[in-house]
């Protein structure tokens, strides 16, 4: 408990959303190494991250966003400071483990452009999603300025236009953007609506906050969002029950239908005092949520080495091994966050003076 108190962040504005990251990272781990043989997470866990990223980036930077070099430079410094140092460290470890020294492969992995190319080698398997995130970070100022100046329809029109262009490129036979299914499954252009759901949620929350306190009695948004997610999970179970898999049905549910109930669920977590919101707001959930990025990349790095656990004889040996690996990985992730990720993040921002209020609001989820 002393550690949790010492690591408490005093500027937490939406504490219930912090634990969502921990839950999402946990779901990814158990999808790769399930407790029970043959089980599989059928719903798109990354959608929960993408909607949250869209909300967080827009809520932090929307009011200060400018199409000026000074603002853009500090914005991109913040994104670099949050994402790249941990990725660079773990990718370097992955390079040493895989003995991969091909210049083109190293360039694509270190620049996070690798997941834009069909069939590319990912030295950290989970890093494909970082390419998706980085593409959104690059385009987010444009989406925010369009929304502010042209209304809600403008970002949606731009998103569909980018998707159409990407799909057109994917039919030309290049490795860049590869195939239509690759665009939908592995690139920002196929996942843009998840980020825009976060954008619209952020604009909704900002309007509510101008009218008074955000808190609302009851639990209708939490229940409605949870029910919507549950229905789509059941739909996905039905889709996976039929062979051959209908991949475009999976894309429809995971990329285009589930963002809306996720956004409603997040609104409930923000506004309503429910047991779920209180659980996700605890100090432990907050700590794990902040360490979830390190956890996510760590499991992408070492899960291949943990798969022999699944072959342990007997269900109890497997269960014990998976739980022990899960707990140990969280411990390493927390240590990595507290001793490397967060100190280096703060150091970079202080060095480039990118934390002042002219860049974005400071009292948010955590120093995103």
Residues 104-138: tens digit of each pLDDT: 999 999 999 999 999 999 999 889 999 999 999 99
Residue 13's pLDDT is 83
Per-domain residue ranges of the chain:
2-352
CA 314 vs CA 218, 224, 307: distances in Å: 46, 40, 15
pLDDT band, very low/low/confident/very high, at 366 (cuts 50, 70, 90): very low
More confident residue, 3 or 213: 213
CA pseudo-torsion sign 200, 128, 138, 82: positive
CA 155/CA 229 separation, integer angstroms: 24
Q: Is 360 helix (H, G, I), strand (E, B) or coil?
A: coil
The answer to whether 113 touches 177, Cβ cutoff 8 Å, is no
Q: Which tokens in the block code for residue 147? A: 């929304």
Task: Work out the percent of the chain whose per-residue pLDDT is above 70.
Answer: 92
Q: Model pTM greater than 0.85?
A: yes
Q: What is the mean pLDDT of the chain?
A: 89
- Per-residue exposure over 279-310, b if at least 16 CB sit within 10 Å of its own CB, e if not: ebbeeebbbbbbbbbbbbbbbbbbbeebeebe
What is the predicted pLDDT for the residue at 136?
A: 97
């Amino acid at each position: 408990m002393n550690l949790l108190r010492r690591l408490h962040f005093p500027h937490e504005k939406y504490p219930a959303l912090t634990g969502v990251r921990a839950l999402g990272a946990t779901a990814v781990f158990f999808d790769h190494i399930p407790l029970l043989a043959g089980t599989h997470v059928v719903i798109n866990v990354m959608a929960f991250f993408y909607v949250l990223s869209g909300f967080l980036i827009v809520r932090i930077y929307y009011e200060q966003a400018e199409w000026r070099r000074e603002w853009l430079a500090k914005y991109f410094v913040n994104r670099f400071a949050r994402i790249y140092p941990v990725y660079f460290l773990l990718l370097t470890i992955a390079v040493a483990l895989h003995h991969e020294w091909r210049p083109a492969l190293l360039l694509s992995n270190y620049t996070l452009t690798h997941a834009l190319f069909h069939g590319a080698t990912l030295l950290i398997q989970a890093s494909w999603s970082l390419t998706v995130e980085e593409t959104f970070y690059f385009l987010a100022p444009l989406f925010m300025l369009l929304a502010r100046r042209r209304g809600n329809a403008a970002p949606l029109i731009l998103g569909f236009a980018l998707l159409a262009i990407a799909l057109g490129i994917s039919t030309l036979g290049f490795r860049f953007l590869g195939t239509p299914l690759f665009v939908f499954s592995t690139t920002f252009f196929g996942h843009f609506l998840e980020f825009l759901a976060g954008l619209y949620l952020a604009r909704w929350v900002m309007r509510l906050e101008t009218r008074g306190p955000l808190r609302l009695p009851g639990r209708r948004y939490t229940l409605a969002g949870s029910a919507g997610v549950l229905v789509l999970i059941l739909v996905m179970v039905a889709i996976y029950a039929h062979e051959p898999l209908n991949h475009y049905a999976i894309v429809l549910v995971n990329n285009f239908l589930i963002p809306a109930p996720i956004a409603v669920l997040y609104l409930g977590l923000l506004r309503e005092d429910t047991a779920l919101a209180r659980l996700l707001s605890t100090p432990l959930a907050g700590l794990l949520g902040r360490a979830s990025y390190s956890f996510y990349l760590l499991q992408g790095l070492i899960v291949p080495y943990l798969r022999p656990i699944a072959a342990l004889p007997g269900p109890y040996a497997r269960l014990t091994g998976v739980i022990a690996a899960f707990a140990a990985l969280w411990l390493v992730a927390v240590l990595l966050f507290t001793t490397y990720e967060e100190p280096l993040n703060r150091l970079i921002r202080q060095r480039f003076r990118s934390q002042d209020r002219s860049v974005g609001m400071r009292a948010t989820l955590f120093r995103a």
